[in-house]
Amino acid sequence: MAHLNWKGIYPALLTPFDENGNLDYNMFTKNLEAQISAGVHGVIIAGTLGEASVLRTDEKFDLLRHALKVANQRIPILLNIAENTTQAAIEVAQKAAALGADGLMLLPPMRYRADDREVVAYFRAVAQSSTLPILVYNNPVDYSTYISVEMFEELLQEPTIQAVKESTRDLTNVTRLKNKFGDRLKILGGVDTISLETLMLGADGLVAGLVDAFPKETVAMYDLVLQGEYEKAVAIYRWFMPLLELDIHPKLVQYIKLAATAEGISTTYTRAPRLALQGEEKERISRIIREAIATRPQLQA
């Protein structure tokens, strides 16, 4: 298994489709290789950006098998779990472990808005079902479930729960969690538009979106923060911001696929109910992408 230390850049990978809506494994491989070449530290497949909601369970496992084969232990491969029932989540976790996944990202129950006790019980039950390390996704904005410090106190009784994808959009939460748990809970920023601030406040890394289209720039920004080269990191960030804004829109999948396609590492096809961009919206987003590509920063060798 590839070593997973929860530090660095973890793209939430896109799932490319062909014009008939089938998985495009060739393009998936091309994107994954671009991420690895840029120096990312792991990838997450079948997340929100990976269109988990329109993938069959067998397709998620097929993607996992394929990613593991392509990566060949060069980086950790994590599978996202977004299920409606505890039993289904446990079954996915166990199957992922059997197939050789290096870790899991775990969302709260999908269709039922659970209370705090139920959320904790759900996460702990999945954690106890597998030996794989787990990244808990804390995103109250999109999933209506806020995982508080008190809930994490219970969750961290499970040794396999090791990290949080911090998407509360409350920057003080990075410090709050670090003050309470120190290195016991690794923090990966999950919102592109505050990614640099999150890193500079001591987050261990990022689960990023626009990295799918611009992996080199994302890794460069992270490396500059590690080196204390904050002005250079900010310069990349300011260039990046119009693109990063695409990550916090309901059509983030279509937008980021359009950007990655412009870079030659995705297709624009999505599965319904998502539809292809058209008209003014498509032109507006395309213009943002074109302008960014035309002005992209010169990165240090």
72-92 residue pLDDT tens? 999 999 999 999 999 999 999
DSSP 185-198: SEEEE--GGGHHHH
Asked if the structure places residue 301 within a domain, the reply is no
To the nearest whole number, what is the mean pLDDT of the chain? 97
pLDDT tens digits, one per residue of 42-79: 999 999 999 999 999 999 999 999 999 999 999 999 99
Confidence bin at 293 (pLDDT 50/70/90): very high
Asked if the structure places residue 165 within a domain, the reply is yes
User: Which phi and psi (to 5°) does residue 268 adopt?
Assistant: -90, -5
Asked if the structure places residue 1 within a domain, the reply is no
The pTM for the full model equals 0.97
Burial string for 166-194 (b: 16+ CB within 10 Å, else e) reads bbbeebebbeebbeebeeebbbbbbbbbb
Mean pLDDT of 152-181: 97
Asked if the structure places residue 16 within a domain, the reply is yes
Q: Find out whether the peptide bond into 109 is cis, omega within 30 degrees of 0.
A: no
DSSP 57-111: HHHHHHHHHHHHHHHTTSS-EEEEE--SSHHHHHHHHHHHHHHT-SEEEEPPPSS
- Does pLDDT of 140 surpass 80? no
**Residue 162, domain extent:** 8-294
CATH number of the domain that residue 229 is part of? 3.20.20.70
Asked if the structure places residue 2 within a domain, the reply is no
- Number of folded domains in the chain? 1
Asked if the structure places residue 299 within a domain, the reply is no
Burial status of residue 136 (CB atoms within 10 A of its CB: 0-12, 13-18, 19 or more)? buried
Asked if the structure places residue 182 within a domain, the reply is yes
Q: How far apart are CA 181 and CA 243, in angstroms?
A: 33
Tell me the percentage of the chain whose pLDDT exceeds 90: 94
- pLDDT at site 141: 85
- Does pLDDT of 167 surpass 90? yes
Tokens of 26: 């060739």
Confidence bin at 301 (pLDDT 50/70/90): low
Asked if the structure places residue 300 within a domain, the reply is no
